[in-house]
Chain A
Amino acid sequence: MSLLSVRGLRKSYGALKVTDDLDLEVTEGELHAIIGPNGAGKSTLIAQLSGQAGSDAGSVLFAGAQMMGKPMPARVRAGMSRSFQITSILPGFSVLENVSTAVQARAGSSFRFFAPVARDADLNEQAIAALAQVGLSDRAQTRAGSLSHGEKRALELAIALATQPRLLLLDEPLAGTSGAEAERLVQVMAGLKGQVTLVLIEHDMDAVFALADRVSVLVYGRIIATGMPAEIRADPAVRAAYLGDA
């Protein structure tokens, strides 16, 4: 059944229709990749789904609840988390603090003024588990701002995981990573399959076709095809619009 059901989603910047009557169904448990040429509106779509950007019209049903008009923090608390195309972390915090802050967002009230948070075992244990999932355990005490680019990408994934999402929206998690770093992140994502539903935007076609259960192709703000990776590879419209020049 659908965990995320998007109907008639629209967004325009002036005369430019960035998201044009878009429909999308994401099934619980799948890894759903969205591919498309530059400027197709992929990052805008993630921004709209996560609540960072508003939508002009349409419906976004998540686990049966209407998300339209809800701000980003409310959607995260409902179980929709995201990563950013341009790395977004808390650079002055340690790696562990970054993740335990995300745990804290789900773990009851943050209007606690006296107990020292650094020794909050509940938060730290869950944070350490999330770090282990992305292979950053040995960097827990490092200042996040001094991590390598690939490690920052992994940290961002751990932060998103620590919010215990049902749906994870990943906006080009491999952007800017080197071969070895990318390989490690692909393994992390492969490990997440089945535990959490994933929507993956990615330019690395090898990664997409290795990981995805289903692929949707976004061109000029519309989904022009959805199917199994093999079907998408063979689709003539897709080849013409996108894969042909890849």
Chain B
Amino acid sequence: MTRWLMRRRVAAWLIFGGFAALPLIAAMTGDPYLVVVATRILAFAMAALALDLILGYGGMVSFGHAAYLGIGAYAVAILSRAGITDLGAHLGAAVVAGSAFALVTGAISLRTRGIYFIMITLAFAQMAYFFFVSLSAYGGDDGVTLAARSTVLGQDWLADDRVLYYAALAMLLGLYLLCVAITGSRFGRVLTGARENPLRMQAVGFTPFRFQLTAFVISGAMTAIAGVILANQASYVSPAYMNWHRSGELVVMVVLGGIGNLLGAIAGATLALLLEEWLALFTEHWRLIFGALLILVVLFSRDGLTGLFRGRAK
């Protein structure tokens, strides 16, 4: 076990080191677009990380996590329209709104298990999607273009793509360290135990529901933070962020990277978005190739990308 923790630490240094060095590489190759793409990757990595917390550790397959991306993005759009442009306020509003939506929908969804849980989280996300589609004050289906990015201390530092990139990277690192702490804590042990055998956990005196709901709320809040970054990266917010395809893509990212080890989610999001960019250069039917790759990964490595680095199963 400790060996596995050592490997994870090395992998974390490599991944975050690589991200930190990326703008330098972009500057050397003279490709500023790379930083823009990478910021998008960081936002989705946050969302995938949040999903892995409940999917990988809690056994809760949420098929509606895109809703939280949209909630975070609309927090930026709505507050900016009202003249509040501060990043801290945007993040605060996103976390509060994401937590509230997760608390209400999670409390209901967690009454069910398995396929019903998947369906009910999907249904709630679709309700959120159609709510924003019909919100004509914010462009309805078309969405809204942001006048400017969020500000920090009244300054428009984030207008520089590289500053936004490093801000996103710092947030991803913070959320990753938060998840490492949570999953290794007393709380994390109960969450994982409830996935392994809920009856056993009740038989030693735990009520799994309270722990699962708490994790669900934490995950929702984290994904809303990813939405704030996404809105800033695109300077544009629309209901498309909350589309159920998007929820499916988040699940794919987690599975592709390997569930239940946090770094896998980050790696999966990175690989999925890079493949999307790269394969799209060759053919408009890139999804076909992507699908085939996903099948291969799932068939040959239960643990996704991380399985390739972990060596043979015990």
Chain A contacts to B: CB under 8 angstroms: 50, 52, 71-73, 76-77, 81-82, 84, 88-94, 97, 101-102, 104-106, 109-118, 120, 143, 159-160, 162-163
Contacts and interface: CB of A to CB of B under 8 A. Distances in A.
Contacts of A111: 186-187, 214
A232 B8 CA distance: 61
A113 B206 contact: no
Interface in B184-235: 184-190, 192-193, 196-197, 199-207, 211, 214
Contacts of A120: 186
B205 A118 contact: no
B187 A91 contact: no
A162 B289 CA distance: 52
B185 A114 contact: yes
B182 interface: yes
A115 B187 CA distance: 10
Contacts of B202: 52, 71-73, 76
Given A89-B197, A90-B200, 5 more contacts: A73-B205, A76-B205, A104-B186, A112-B186, A118-B184
Given A117-B184, A117-B186, A120-B186, A110 B206 contact: yes
30 contacts: A71-B202, A76-B202, A81-B204, A88-B197, A88-B199, A88-B200, A89-B197, A90-B197, A93-B196, A101-B204, A104-B186, A104-B190, A105-B204, A110-B186, A110-B190, A111-B186, A112-B185, A113-B181, A113-B182, A113-B185, A113-B187, A114-B181, A115-B186, A117-B185, A117-B186, A118-B184, A159-B204, A160-B204, A162-B204, A163-B204
A159 B203 CA distance: 9
B271 to A, nearest CB: 26
A196 to B, nearest CB: 15
B189 to A, nearest CB: 5
Nearest to B210: A111
Contact of B197 (A76, A91, A102, A115): A91
A50 B203 contact: yes
Interface of B: 1, 181-182, 184-190, 192-193, 196-197, 199-207, 211, 214, 314
A76 B203 contact: yes
Contacts of A81: 203-204
B175 to A, nearest CB: 13
B163 to A, nearest CB: 30
B153 to A, nearest CB: 29
A112 B181 CA distance: 10
Interface centre among B1, B214, B314 (most CB of A within 10 A): B1
B203 A110 contact: no
Contacts of B205: 73, 76-77, 102, 105-106, 163
Contacts of B204: 76, 81, 101-102, 105, 159-160, 162-163
Nearest to B196: A90
Contacts of B181: 113-114, 116
Contacts of A110: 186-187, 189-190, 206, 211
A90 B186 contact: no
A82 B203 contact: yes
Interface centre among B189, B205, B314 (most CB of A within 10 A): B205
A89 to B, nearest CB: 6
